[in-house]
Chains A and B, each alone.
Chain A
């Protein structure tokens, strides 16, 4: 979990009986850290465009490929502008925050950094330029609403998608990011919730919003009687591969330094991902007598999601277990639960991201304890499990309630769905007047 300890350090020095000048920890730019964080930011951006765009794009029908890619691309542009205008400030401003004090600013940052006020080339965040930190965190704010599109794919109006993404970023993502990551005085941070790279902030948040979105917007016409098989699983495999690669920026980058923590985060990410891919396919092989391409790719993503909150604190053995559990459980939630309960989460945002996110967030607690091979300061695995559960529960409720409110509001005003004829034509032609494949 990141915190802004550099800024706190200078304020506590006044009470020390030493010369302030001799003791002041002056934040110094580190070239290695800076270089790594610039690269990590690019890797995380690559997860959305083209990573998620291809991963999701391959799973929809050919007539909706462009709509999914367009949604990823448009969210990237939209969120960037909102982040610059007010997003970074609401998420990371520490105005009015005090360690242990719960107030308005424990939930949401102030607007003192709106328009990126005060940001100069030499402004630092820990040992890297703050501009790089702004960029790094922006890529997280981009991918989170982009993950949700998998739940409402193939039927949401482009205009409604833009409104939803902007409002959801503002009222769901920014507060949760602030509550977890903004340092002393933040609601969930002060509670002791461990979330190294965004298990609650990104994956549970997006996964729950996905479930709510597919319930509010309703099933695709004809689902599940009509065949809606993926149109190009090759794209999906390339997308999953780019997600896997980009995730090193996501998890190892969350150390905000090129150090041992980043190195360990990278390794445990690899281990958990592999374990989850194997776990998913093993169950599938046992049940269906087939190891599927979509299965191994989905399993890998479940593992990446699950290890995200634990990447800074779990050891290799903990990562192996977290990944394996996520891969096997998500097989059932993505292939059985949806059909049993009858909700049309088109590309399994809930079944993979929310479920693996919850598994990961919970298991982060015990596996942060040194006695379970972790590298955290956790002494009681059970107590930390309870703290993690509180963080998970809070995020589920926050995301579910506010996502529902936003979607209902949009449905009553501009409407969420394209009409039946447009849905039949496919969103590529109906919404963008283009088609992905002109094969003649």
Chain B
């Protein structure tokens, strides 16, 4: 099993969710986050006082998938979140050791 963490532009969320659903992903977690990468920040100016806003608002989505679904999921996120401009985000993939569904105590593949 794999744990996918993706940082995306907030307005792409609906497209990403739909694409993941089509790829067979059954659930996801979304968090509002701030950060910077190559896009850096932007400046704001209030009555001559200039502020550099270093951290831009992004969304972090987290998805657990079975190994055979990984490529589909990555492709779904990549296609749906890509605008071609700097700041589209990143996808991180890591090993996932164990999953337990609390209600039924099912584990691993059955719990996904």
Contact = CB atoms under 8 A, between A and B. Distances in A.
A230 B51 CA distance: 11
Residue of B47, B49, B51 with most chain A CB atoms under a 10 A cut-off: B47
Contacts of A335: 47-49
Contact of B48 (A227, A290, A339): A339
Interface string A149-171: 00000000000000000000000
A120 interface: no
A406 B44 CA distance: 37
Interface in B41-55: 44-49, 51
Nearest to B44: A229
A338 interface: yes
* Secondary structure class of chain B's binding surface, majority of residues: strand
B51 A336 contact: no
B49 A339 contact: yes
Nearest to A233: B46
Contacts of A229: 44, 46, 49, 51
A292 B45 contact: yes
B48 A294 contact: no
B48 A230 contact: no
Contact of A336 (B44, B45, B46, B48): B48
A334 interface: yes
Contacts of A230: 46
B47 A334 contact: yes
Contacts of B47: 294-295, 298, 334-335, 348
B51 A227 contact: yes
Interface residues of B, number: 7
Interface string A318-350: 000000000000000011101100000000100
A229 B45 CA distance: 9
A389 to B, nearest CB: 28
A19 B105 CA distance: 110
B54 to A, nearest CB: 10
B49 A224 contact: yes
Contacts of B46: 229-230, 292, 294
Nearest to A290: B45
Interface string A111-142: 00000000000000000000000000000000
Interface string B5-47: 0000000000000000000000000000000000000001111
Interface string A80-118: 000000000000000000000000000000000000000
Interface string A267-310: 00000000000000000000010101011001000000000000
A92 B13 CA distance: 65
Contacts of B44: 229
A290 B47 CA distance: 12
Q: Which of A229, A288, A348 has the most CB of B within 10 A?
A: A229
Contacts of A292: 45-46
Nearest to B45: A288
Contacts of A228: 49
Contacts of A295: 47
A347 to B, nearest CB: 9
A338 B45 contact: no
A338 B46 CA distance: 13
B47 to A, nearest CB: 5
16 contacts: A224-B49, A227-B51, A229-B46, A229-B49, A230-B46, A288-B45, A290-B45, A292-B45, A292-B46, A294-B46, A295-B47, A298-B47, A334-B48, A338-B48, A339-B48, A348-B47
Closest CB pairs A-B (n = 8):
A335-B48, A227-B51, A335-B47, A334-B47, A229-B46, A294-B46, A229-B51, A230-B46
